Every structure is written in C-alpha cells, then in structure tokens.
Amino acid sequence: MSDAAHQNDVLEPPSSKKIKIDQQNENGVSVKQLELKDFIAEKVIKNNTNTKTVCIEGKFRDKTGVALVVLEKNAFKEEELNDTGYFCPETVQETYFQNDIYGNYVCFPKSAVNGVKTTIIYPATEKHIVKYSQQEVHIVVETPELYEKLTLPHIEKEQFNLQWVYNILEGKTEQDRIVHNNPCEQDGFVLLPDLKWDGVTKETLYLLAIVRRRGIKSLRDLNASHLPLLKRVRDEGKKKILEKYNLPESQLRIYFHYQPSFYHLHIHFTYLRHEAPGIYAEKAHLLSTVINNIEMMNNYYQKASLPFTIKQMDNIFKVYETNGCVQRIDSNIENTELIDK
C-alpha cells in the first residue's frame, strides 16, 4: 500500500516534522498537512526492537478521531558513510566504555542523515489499530472449503476501503510517485513505492505493482486467463527497476502476500538484501512460482490449501476460532502507556 512514495528521478528525503498527504483521504477527510508537533501521544501499541519500529496511538490537536504514527529508524545509505555523512565534524560522540582495543560509544550524527521514517494514518479505524498492534499470531492452513465457507464471506464483509487504490489507478492521487504506468485496462498496472519505503534508499527498495483490472481479490482468484497480466507485471516491472534503480532481476524478490493487506490484486517488488516484512514462507508466494503453478494446472489456486497467519485481535481469528480451527492463547503483552494517568 500503502497499509502503500513516488516521484521523479530525484527525490527529497521525507521530513520527520511535516508529512504531506493527499487533500482527501479514503474516509473523505480533507487535510493538506499533518504536523507531528500537533500530535498528542497516548499509548504505544507496538514496539518492534528487531525492525526498530514503533507505532503510537493518539490524536491531533483540534481534530477528532484516532491517529496512528509509525516511526522507523532509517536504514544506512552507503553513500552517506563518509566524511560528509556520519564521519564529519558535526557528529557528536559519547563513550559508554573503553577496554583495551574495544570501545563502545553512542554517536549523534548531523540531522541531515539522522531522520526517522514517519507514517501517519488519520483518521485510523479499529481495523488499522488491530493491524498495527502487537499481538499473538497463529497459522491457519486454509483449504478451498474453508476459503469458501469462512474466509471469503469475511473479506467481502470487512475488507478495508479500496478508494485509495482507485484514486491511484484513476489518476487522482499520487501520480508524482508512479515509477511505471501501463494504461491497459485488461493487463495494465501501476508501479509505485510501497508506503513502507521512503522512495530513496536503495538498500530498502520496496515497490508495489497494483493491477488495473478490478475484481481480482487475491491468489485465490488467479487462473490461466490472468497469465498475460502476471507476465506483463513481471517483465515490465523488472525492466523499469533495472533502468531506474540499477537492480537486476536476480536481486529482486517479486511476490504476493496471502492473505494480502487489501483485496485488490497487487504484487510486491523488494531488494533481495532487504528483509522486508512478510517475506517468510507462511506469507509470501513468489510470482515465478505462481506463474509456474498456473501453467501446470489452470485452477491450481482454487484447489490448493494455502497457509496464512492471523492475529488474535483480527475479526477473522474469531471466525476461525468459533469453527474450531485455531485456539486462543493468553498473552502477557500489554500496551505501554505514554502518559501517566
């Protein structure tokens, strides 16, 4: 998604103080700019020490509704690891300890290389809060029967609003972020940075191909009639990324998520060196494997049992729990209050 930043060939790094968003978001709220100085933090709902990411729930002054702010430490850019970046006179260093040849320090580089990637979701729905909260996760092996009986009715009833996707496809928003645009309504797509990528740092490259054809929710809907579309996304996506970012196809991870975060078919392109969220076996399905499976069997994804993960706070967890497919476990994880009550 943007649960998806693109641009021209030269991008300005995102500011940690001002986040520009579209004039109207998917919920019809008109705002031109949200500023972190107006954010009132209420509680931490997730703190991932591995990814150096934290999600804070709160609100903006003089605005109604809940807001989520996601802060993520940026990856190092190799071009900044020199005497004009981290190793420059502006860098401040403090010593933790020194023992023989070993020293442990904390350093404070100049602000230009020390930004924090910031994502703002406003107004955030209960579904957003659940998605970004720290909680227990379970694996479900979804048979075709379980898909028809439990999963499909649930996603048709409760999936996220897709207006933001249609705004992109219809040329209403984010057009300056688009890397590649194939206008064919049948087999075309747009390629743009995922919301999780700053659009600049090659080391964390993460793009999203959103197909133009509507009505394809996920892997489950794919068959041989979609092969021209899938191959076009693969071939044109790889070509454009090579031209723009100088990354060959052998260094790209191209895959679907199942379950996806939103139910309009999209494909992820990430740098192979980058351990992006959702690249593991229980979540990711390589595009090359999907194409191969469909070429062997037209209705492979209507016949296959597919694993996916669900969180205990997800409503779909309740559906599977009620039908005896998963069992709830107690968690000791609690939200951390930021403000003393």
Query: How far, in Å, CA of 271 to CA of 210, rounded?
Result: 18
The first and second tokens of residue 291, run together, are: 């194409």
Q: What share of the chain is helix, strand, coil (3-state, %, to 5)?
A: 30, 30, 45
Amino acid at 253: R
The amino acid occupying position 43 is: K
Sign of CA dihedral 128, 145, 258, 216: negative
Phi, then psi, of 101 in degrees rounded to 5: -85, 0
Local structure of 128: helix, strand or coil: helix
Place of tokens 């990637």: 117
Strand pairing class (116-121; 284-286)? unpaired
Residue tagged active-site, from 138, 266, 268, 285: 266
> Distance between the two ends of the chain, CA-based, in angstroms?
36
- Cα–Cα distances (Å) from 68 to 51, 65, 129, 277, in that order, read 18, 10, 8, 19
Mark whether 266 is an active-site residue: yes
Residue 217 and residue 249 in contact, taking contact as beta carbons nearer than 8 Å? no
Please say whether the beta carbons of 335 and 174 come within 8 A.
no
Instruction: Give the three-class secondary structure for 71.
Output: strand
User: Tokens 């999907």 sit at which residue?
Assistant: 290
Burial zone of 202 (CB within 10 Å; 0-12 exposed, 13-18 middle, 19+ buried): middle
Which residues are marked as active site?
A: 266
